Amino acid sequence: MNKREWEQIKFNFAIEYNRTGVSVLSWCKENQLNYDTARRHLKIKNAKLLNFTPSELKKRKRRRGPPLGSQNALKHGGYSNIFCNITNQKVVAITEEDELCLSRIRIHKAMQAINKLQEKLQTNIRVETCIKLMNALFLVEQSIDRCIGKIELIKRTSSKTRIEKQRNYDLNHNSQLQQT
C-alpha cells in the first residue's frame, strides 16, 4: 500500500477508535489487514488526536529531529566561516583573506590549547586523566591539520586565479602588440 492509502486507513482507524475504542489487532482482523504491517502505521495516541481529515493530519504532524538551532551534532565547528576578531565581535569570513585569517587564528588557539594540555599531562599521573588528555591532544592536532589543509587550499586556488589572470593579461597584451 502507498502513503495515501495508509493515510486513509489511519483516518478510518481513528474514527473507529474514537467511536468504539477498538484495539489495533481486532480492527486489523475486521478489515483483513496484516497486523505486523499495520502496527507500524496505526498508533492509538495518533488516533486520539485524529478528529481531522487526512490533509489536516499532515499539517498537525510534529517536526522530527532536534529543536531548531540545536548544535548537538556539531563536532568541532572547524569549517565554520564565523569567527571572533580581537574585540570579540563576530565576523563572517567572506573573502579569501578573511578565511586565511580565520584559519590562522584557529591554529594559534589550538597551539595554545596544546601547551595547556601538555602542562596538565606533566602534572597529572592518574591513568584515566592521562588518557582523556591524550584524546584531547589528538583532537586538537586534528583541528590543526584541518586548518592547515584549508590554508593550503585557499593559497592554491588564489595562486591559480593569479596565474590565470596573468595568462589572460599576457594573451591580451600580445594580441594587441601583434595588431599594431
Most confident of the ranges 69-78, 96-105, 117-126, 153-162? 153-162
Tell me the mean pLDDT in the region 164-175: 82
| Contacts for 41 with CB less than 8 Å, ≥ 6 apart | 6, 9, 10
Tell me the mean pLDDT in the region 157-177: 82
Extract the C-alpha cell encoding 164.
590565470
Closest CA to 15 of 57, 60, 63: 57
Closest CA to 45 of 63, 60, 59: 60
pLDDT computed for residue 53 by the predictor: 56
pLDDT computed for residue 43 by the predictor: 83
pTM above 0.85, yes or no: no
Q: What is the pLDDT of residues 50-63, one digit of tens each?
A: 555 556 555 656 66
Q: What is the pLDDT of residues 32-44, one digit of tens each?
A: 988 888 888 888 8
Considering only 20-24, 89-93, 160-164, which range has the smallest mean pLDDT?
Answer: 89-93
Where along the chain do its domains lie? 3-60, 82-179
Q: Is the pLDDT score of 83 beyond 80? A: no
HEC-encoded secondary structure of the chain: CCHHHHHHHHHHHHHHHHHHCCCHHHHHHHCCCCHHHHHHHCCHHHHHHCCCCHHHHHHHCCCCCCCCCCCCCCCCCCCCCEEECCCCCEEECCCHHHHHHHHHHHHHHHHHHHHHHHHHHHHCCCHHHHHHHHHHHHHHHHHHHHHHHHHHHHHHHHHHHHHHHHHHHHHHHHHHHHHC
pLDDT computed for residue 131 by the predictor: 86
Q: What is the pLDDT of residues 106-134, one digit of tens each?
A: 888 889 888 988 888 888 678 888 888 88
